[in-house]
Chain A
Amino acid sequence: MKANSRRVALYGLLVALMLVLGLLDKSIPITWFLSGAIPGIKLGLANTVLLYAIYLMDWKSGVLLMAAKAVLSGFIYGSVTAMLISLSGGVLSLLVMLLIKRGPAVGALAVSGLGAAGVAWLLARGVTLRGDMLWCVILLCAACAAGVAVFLFVRKNPENGVIGTSMIGAVFFNIGQTLMAVAVMRTPQLLYTYLPFLVAMGAVVGSLTGIVARRVFLALRALPSRQ
C-alpha cells in the first residue's frame, strides 16, 4: 500500500509537470525566429517527462502519462479536435520511441534519412526555392546533419541514446498530428506542403529536448555519469 501511494503521487507529479511544460511551450513562440509563420510548432518540453517515464519507469507509465496529458490539455486549452490531434501524435510518437529505445542510434539515422528523403522529394517535385520553401529545404538539410551528428554521438557513447529516441519521437509526433489533421480536414494537400516543415522542425526540436532530457537524467544520476 505504501508503494502504491508513492506511485499515485509520482504519477500526479509527472502529469502536473507535463501540463506546466506544455504551458511553457505555448509561451515560447519559436516560430517567430523563423521567416514565415509555421503554425503549430513548439518545443515539446513535455516530451522530456515522457522520456523519463519510458526510460526509468515502464512502458505502461508512458502510455498512461501520454493519454492523461493529451486528454487533460484538451480539456484545459482546446477543442475535441485539438485533443484528437494531440492524442494521435502522442500515440504514434510513443510507439516509435518504445520501439527504438533499444537502438536509438538507428532512430537518429532514420531521422537523417527522412530529412534527406524530404529534400529529394521537394526538389523532385520542382519546388520553388524561395521564401518559406527555401527555409524548408535548409531546415531539412539541418535535420539530416543533426541526425548524422546524433548517430555518431550515440554510437560513441550509448548513454546518450535518449537524444536519438527524443529526435525520432518528435518527428513522429508531428507526422501523427499531420495525418490526423489531414483525416479530420480532408486536405491531403497538406502532406506536400506542411509535412516537410514539420519533419524538419521535429528533428531539430527533438534533438534539443533530447539534450535537455539527457541533462535531467544525468542530474538524477539515473545514468552512469561519465565522471
Chain B
Amino acid sequence: MRHRLGPAGVPKPNGLWLAALLAALALALCGCGPGGGAGEGPRITLDGAPWDGKAVSPEAGDMRVYVTLNGEALIDLPFGEAHTLTVAQPGVGENTVAVTPDSVYMLQADCENQDCVQMGAVTRENLEVRVMGGFIVCLPHRLSVEVRGE
C-alpha cells in the first residue's frame, strides 16, 4: 500500500515516452480526421439550391472568387454578382460565403474559433492592404476563399 501510483519495481515513467505516446495518438487521430474519412464529398448549395456543377457566369467581370477545399479548386464565382454559397462537409462542418456586388465575406461557420467570420470582408478597395490580402481562410474546415483576377 506504500505505492499508490503503481506497483513497486516498475521503471520510472519517462517524459519522452509519454510525449511519444501522445504524438502517436495525435497521428492516429489525423488518420480518421478530415480528408482521411471514407469519401463523402462536400455538399455545395448555391443561392438556396444544390449546385449543378456548371460554371457560374464564366464570362462575367474582371475578378473572380475562388473557393478551395483541402487545396483543391471547388467552385468559382464572379466578383460583382450577388450569391450565397454554402459548403457542407459531412462530419466536419459547414461554411456559408456571401458574395455581394462589391464584397465577399464569410457569413457563417460552425467552427469553434470563428476566425474566418471575424476576418471581415474583401472589397476592391481593401484587396491590396488587407491583412490576408484577398483571402478568407477557415482552417478547421480547410476551406479558403480568394478574390483575384484571372
B-binding residues in A (CB < 8 A): 1, 4-5, 8, 11, 31, 36-40, 60-61, 63-64, 67-68, 70-71, 74, 77-85, 87, 127-128, 130-134, 136, 181, 184-187, 189-190, 192-194, 197
Given A37-B118, A79-B111, A185-B68, are A131 and B130 also a contact pair (CB < 8 Å)?
Answer: yes
CB–CB B132/A185 < 8 A: no
A-B pairs under 8 A by CB, number: 136
The one of B12, B26, B120, B141 that contacts A83, using a Cβ cutoff of 8 Å: B26
CB–CB A79/B12 < 8 A: no
Residues of B within 8 A of A68 (CB): 18-19, 22
The one of A4, A64, A132 that contacts B130, using a Cβ cutoff of 8 Å: A132
Residues of B within 8 A of A4 (CB): 5, 12-13
* Contacts of B109-138 to chain A: CB distance below 8 A: 111-113, 115-116, 118-120, 126, 128-133, 135, 137
Residues of B within 8 A of A82 (CB): 112-113, 139-140
CB–CB A185/B113 < 8 A: no
The one of B3, B14, B19, B132 that contacts A67, using a Cβ cutoff of 8 Å: B19
Residues of A within 8 A of B2 (CB): 1
A40 to B131, CA, bound (A): 12
B25 interfacial contact with A, CB 8 Å: yes
CB–CB B16/A60 < 8 A: yes
Besides A36-B131, A79-B141, A186-B70, 20 new A-B residue pairs in contact (Cβ under 8 A), listed by A number: A1-B2, A1-B5, A37-B120, A37-B131, A40-B115, A63-B15, A68-B18, A68-B22, A71-B26, A77-B112, A78-B112, A79-B112, A80-B33, A128-B128, A128-B129, A132-B126, A184-B139, A185-B144, A189-B135, A190-B132
Can you show 10 pairs from A to B with CB atoms below 8 A apart?
Answer: A64-B19, A67-B22, A67-B23, A78-B112, A81-B34, A82-B140, A87-B26, A132-B130, A133-B129, A134-B129
CB–CB B139/A71 < 8 A: no
A83 to B31, CA, bound (A): 13
A-binding residues in B (CB < 8 A): 2-5, 8, 12-16, 18-19, 22-23, 25-26, 29-30, 33-34, 68, 70-71, 92, 111-113, 115-116, 118-120, 126, 128-133, 135, 137, 139-142, 144, 146
Measured between C-beta atoms, what is the minimum distance from B130 to chain A in Å?
A: 6
B contact patch SS: loop
CB–CB A79/B26 < 8 A: no
A136 to B129, CA, bound (A): 10
CB–CB A71/B25 < 8 A: yes
Closest residue on chain A to residue B72 by CB atoms: A186
CB–CB A193/B135 < 8 A: yes
CB–CB A81/B133 < 8 A: no
A63 to B20, CA, bound (A): 10
The one of A85, A186, A194 that contacts B131, using a Cβ cutoff of 8 Å: A194
Measured between C-beta atoms, what is the minimum distance from B145 to chain A in Å?
A: 10
Measured between C-beta atoms, what is the minimum distance from A24 to chain B in Å?
A: 16
A133 to B144, CA, bound (A): 21
Residues of A within 8 A of B16 (CB): 60, 63-64
